[in-house]
């Protein structure tokens, strides 16, 4: 591993020199803009952070059914799902812990406050109402507050297409494992009003999540029944003034398994409501945009395990989490003067309230939380361009949670365009934090454990630098980026397992290498290679479930005008499992840390545009029927095939 870092650094420095000394070719389309990286729309090439955008076209052409499937090939993001659709899925972004990813829907935080660590489950959400997904890697607490140590994932819902009074869309598909999937929706715009409605459902028998290598495996399948509904309404009564509202509901019912043996009577349900209202207007001849948003989320999770032949025990776990956010945000376009152009000032104030009521575990090990907390935050940022080639940005935010120490986060970055050699250089640095969860502060386990209300936030300091170069008039784009971060005050149990303390530290470094080839208008391919070295700073041991290497290869092949073939190959390297978290085939846990073997999963989706209104598609997942275990004992879903038709006018 250590040998790779000098090579990565050398390639990062050498990439610009490898380009021909020429002007960058003009892009045939408008540059893609990103909202999440700066809070204001900005071309992706001008954002100092590393950004990945998954568009609606990507979702359709690659056959992504869930958020977990869509993020599996995102550079620098390793997804660990303990089973198939609807199962618990954790994201490790740039080697940070799964609780160190901030997740948003249209800019609104949607993590479940009742999760003991405050982590987000990426296995629940379907994508029928999602227009795009933006992934920003690196510290982002200066923009989005608690949790953004590894980065941010922002889901952006569909909107009405401009100038269309009525635009229906939908799909229906079915296939192996008795899988049925459907989406129906419509959107429109007329007379200053716009709207979008979408309903979606998925039912599948699924696969056995427990690895078949276990001698006690029963082969019992873990199915999923999922449904969701989204309504969005907007109004623009006068130019420069807009009102919007959204309501989204989804509920999943699923089977669960444990390791090292199947559990046929273990099931769960997960329901979430989210709603927000927002109004904004422009002042000072449109230079100042000010907006106020009120948002609320409600999560309810229930897990039931009835007695069976394998175990007489029973379980009834119930989690309820609520969050209310009030956010006042402003952007002031300062224009330009002298060598400065596109100057923009952003500032705002936010208040967030969380409440949890949960009870889980056996009578002796019963875990309960009944608590709430409130946090106030103020943030400001400045971005501008120098000499029409250097984009600079800086941000500062202070969060003041109720009852414990606050946190101040900062971020600075820049992008230097070198059109003479078709190259862009990026560098940034910043801090981030994760506030203690309500369980960590106020949780109770039996009579022997109490949370620690005096816990400090977990904090990080990180930097990154990289380059991106276009070669041979757009034939290829190569990129290389190196990053380092230090995380301190990590929360863990004390030696007596009676409370929690800020006791751990981590050091993480790595590289993200990319290559995109576009040899012909009908052919493009992308390779993303993430190298991660995440270690406990005190012991030097690798952190669990952070693979040394993750390689994703995706392609878009359109040999005929109406045909698109989209292969995807995901290669995951070895990862470490903690002591007693890996098992022999007979189910015996290993008392020492061990490595999970590497694995490969291959997917293929093909789409045929039968008419302007209908597209036929076939989706094949895990075509090689890999038995890869992203978490020891839990196997990836087996081979599946889905046929369907997608409609849109």
What is 255-315 written as a DSSP string?
A: E---SSS--TTEEEEEEEEEEEEEEEEEETTTTEEEEEEEEEEEEEEEEEE---SS----E
Query: Can you give the pTM of this predicted structure?
Result: 0.93
Instruction: Specify the higher pLDDT residue, 95 or 84.
Output: 95
Task: Give 28's pLDDT tier (boundaries 50, 70, 90).
Answer: very low
> Which residues, at least 6 apart from 567, have a Cβ–Cβ distance to it below 8 Å?
553, 554, 555, 557, 602, 603, 604
* pLDDT tens-place string over residues 550-567: 999 999 999 999 999 999
Q: What is the pLDDT of residue 39?
A: 64
**Res. 119: pLDDT tops 70:** yes
Domain span at residue 179 reads 4-648
Per DSSP bridges, beta strands 476-493 and 500-520 are antiparallel
Q: What is the pLDDT of residue 601?
A: 97
Per DSSP bridges, beta strands 179-190 and 167-175 are antiparallel
Task: Give 29's pLDDT tier (boundaries 50, 70, 90).
Answer: very low
Are 553 and 568 in contact by the 8 Å Cβ rule? The answer is yes
Average pLDDT along the chain = 91
Q: What is the pLDDT of residue 353?
A: 97
Count: domains in the chain: 1
**Res. 17: pLDDT tops 60:** no
Are 640 and 177 in contact by the 8 Å Cβ rule? The answer is yes
What CATH number corresponds to the domain at position 207?
2.40.170.20
Per DSSP bridges, beta strands 101-105 and 151-157 are parallel
Report phi then psi at 487, rounded to 5.
-120, 130
Q: What is the pLDDT of residue 37?
A: 59
**Res. 11: pLDDT tops 60:** no
The DSSP secondary structure of 452-519, one letter per residue, reads: -TTPPPEEEEEEEEEEEEEETTTTEEEEEEEEEEEEEEEEEE-TTSSSEEEEEEEEEEEEEEEEEEEE
Q: Which among 577, 633, 554 is positioned nearest to 83, based on CA atoms? A: 633
Task: Give 347's pLDDT tier (boundaries 50, 70, 90).
Answer: very high
The DSSP secondary structure of 428-452, one letter per residue, reads: EEEEEEEPPPHHHHH-EETTTEE--
């Amino acid at each position: 591993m250590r040998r790779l870092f000098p090579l990565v650094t050398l390639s990062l420095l050498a990439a610009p020199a490898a380009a021909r000394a020429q002007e960058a070719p003009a892009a045939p389309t408008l540059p893609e803009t990103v909202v999440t990286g700066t809070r204001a729309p900005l071309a992706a090439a001008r954002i100092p952070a590393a950004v990945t955008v998954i568009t609606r076209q990507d979702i359709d052409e690659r056959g992504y059914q869930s958020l977990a499937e869509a993020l599996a090939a995102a550079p620098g993001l390793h997804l660990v799902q303990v089973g198939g659709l609807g199962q618990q899925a954790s994201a490790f972004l740039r080697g940070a812990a799964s609780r160190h990813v901030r997740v948003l829907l249209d800019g609104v935080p949607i993590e479940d406050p009742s999760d003991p660590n405050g982590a987000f489950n990426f296995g629940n959400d379907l994508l029928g109402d999602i227009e795009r997904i933006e992934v920003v890697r690196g510290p982002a607490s200066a923009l989005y507050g608690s949790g953004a140590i590894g980065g941010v994932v922002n889901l952006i819902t569909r909107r009405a297409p401009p100038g269309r009074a009525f635009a229906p869309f939908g799909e229906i598909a079915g296939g192996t494992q008795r899988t049925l999937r459907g989406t129906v929706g419509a959107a429109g715009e007329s007379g200053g009003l716009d709207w979008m409605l979408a309903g979606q459902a998925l039912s599948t028998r699924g696969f056995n999540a427990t690895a078949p290598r276990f001698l006690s495996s029963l082969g019992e399948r873990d199915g999923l029944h999922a449904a969701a509904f989204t309504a969005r309404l907007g109004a623009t009564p006068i130019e420069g003034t807009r009102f919007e509202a959204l309501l989204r509901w989804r509920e999943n019912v699923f089977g669960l398994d444990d390791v090292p043996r199947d559990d046929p009577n273990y099931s769960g349900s997960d329901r979430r409501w989210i709603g927000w209202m927002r109004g904004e207007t422009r002042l000072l001849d449109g230079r100042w945009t000010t907006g106020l948003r009120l948002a609320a989320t409600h999560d309810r999770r229930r897990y039931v395990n009835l007695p069976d032949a394998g175990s007489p025990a029973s379980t009834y776990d119930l989690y309820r989490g609520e969050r209310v956010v009030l956010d006042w945000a402003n952007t002031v376009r300062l224009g330009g003067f002298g060598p400065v152009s596109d100057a923009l000032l952003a500032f705002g104030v936010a208040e967030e309230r969380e409440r949890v009521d949960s009870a889980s575990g056996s009578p002796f090990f019963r875990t309960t939380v009944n608590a709430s907390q409130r946090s106030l935050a103020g943030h400001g940022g400045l971005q501008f361009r120098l000499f029409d080639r250097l984009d600079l940005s800086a941000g500062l935010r202070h969060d003041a949670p109720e009852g414990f120490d606050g946190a101040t986060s900062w971020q600075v970055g820049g992008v230097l365009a070198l059109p003479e050699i078709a190259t862009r250089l990026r560098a940034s640095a910043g801090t981030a934090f994760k506030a203690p969860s309500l369980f960590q502060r106020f949780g109770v386990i039996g009579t022997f454990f109490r949370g620690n209300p005096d816990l400090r936030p977990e904090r990080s300091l990180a930097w990154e630098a990289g380059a991106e170069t276009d070669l041979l008039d757009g034939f290829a784009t190569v990129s290389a980026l190196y990053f380092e971060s230090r995380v301190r005050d990590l929360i863990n149990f004390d030696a007596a397992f009676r409370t929690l303390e800020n006791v751990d530290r981590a050091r993480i470094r790595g590289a993200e290498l990319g290559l995109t080839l576009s040899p012909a208008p009908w052919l493009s391919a992308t390779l993303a290679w993430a190298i991660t070295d995440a270690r406990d700073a005190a012991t030097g041991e690798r952190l669990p479930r952070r693979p040394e290497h993750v390689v994703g290869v995706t392609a878009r092949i359109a040999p005929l005008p109406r045909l698109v073939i989209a292969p995807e190959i995901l290669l995951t390297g070895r990862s470490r499992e903690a002591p007693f978290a890996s098992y022999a085939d007979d189910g015996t846990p290993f008392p020492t840390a061990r490595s999970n073997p590497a694995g490969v999963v291959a997917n293929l989706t093909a789409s045929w545009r039968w008419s302007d209104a209908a597209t036929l598609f076939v989706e094949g997942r895990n075509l090689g029927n890999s038995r890869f275990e992203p978490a020891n004992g839990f196997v990836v879903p087996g081979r599946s095939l889905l046929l369907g038709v997608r409609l849109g006018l």
